[in-house]
Amino acid sequence: MSAVAASIPGAAAVSVDLAVPGAAERLADEAVAVHGRLDIAIVNAGLGFAGRFAAMAPDRIDQLITVNLTAALRLTRALLPSLLERDCGYLAYVTSIAGRTGVEGEAVYSATKAGLDAFAESLRHELRDTRVRVGVFVPGVIDTPFFTNRGTPYSRRRPRPVAVQPVAQAMVRMIERDAAEAYYPRWLRLPVALRGLAPCTFRTLAGRFGGS
């Protein structure tokens, strides 16, 4: 993160552990202090876990909920008053296809991303009479250290992980258009649509091809 900030004129890296109480509010204060205002927030922090829910340690459940969901809500709460005062800004939430369809072996992760998705949708309605926009970015399998950090490498042959750069570019386009949502890859809309239109068929296919 520091290396990226060093390559951008006027940028600064601010680092906190969002699992620590009060860290989200501290991050908001420090980020705004860099230039005295904030125009765009990309809420992307997330932890993963793969395995049977019955074998998941209780403290790991709490950690995922805190980092993936609670911290995002608290960060938004800390940033929103200044955005509303200026009546301008964009809040982008990075969820996951797991939050829209559910994924075998990722019950808690899927639940946190579904919760973030519902929060963003509700907040968008709440802010409809303002110029503060809300967008949800729904990625699939991205080639990052996420899977190594969760303790279980990604082992499926398909879908193949996609590179980070086009994903970032797709998010930039979403923000530039003030769009409410975007998928990457775009074909991820298909399983979501199938789940809504033909849930039995979707569950049959998910049982055959699903998993992490």
Let me know: does 95 contact 116? Beta carbons within 8 Å.
Answer: yes
pLDDT in tens, 150-198: 888 887 777 889 999 999 999 999 999 999 999 999 999 999 999 999 9
All domains of the chain in start order, with CATH = 14-209 (3.40.50.720)
pLDDT in tens, 10-45: 888 999 999 999 999 999 999 999 989 999 999 999
The Cβ-side half-sphere exposure at 3, using a 13 Å CA radius, reads 0
Q: Work out the number of other CB atoms within 10 angstroms of the CB of residue 103.
A: 19
Name the active-site residue from 93, 109, 183, 184: 109
What b/e sequence results for 47-86 when a residue is b if at least 16 CB atoms lie within 10 Å of its CB, and e otherwise?
bbbbbeeeeeeeeebeebbbbbbbbbebbbebbbeebeee
Residue 109 annotated as catalytic: yes
Q: Can you give the pLDDT at residue 145?
A: 86
Assign 10 to helix, strand or coil: coil
Cα separations in angstroms, 159 against 74, 143, 193: 33, 11, 18
Rounded Cα gap, residues 167 and 154, in angstroms = 18
Q: 209 pLDDT exceeds 70?
A: no
Q: Can you give the pLDDT at residue 5?
A: 80
Lowest mean pLDDT among 1-15, 68-82, 137-151, 179-193: 1-15
Q: Work out the number of other CB atoms within 10 angstroms of the CB of residue 89.
A: 21
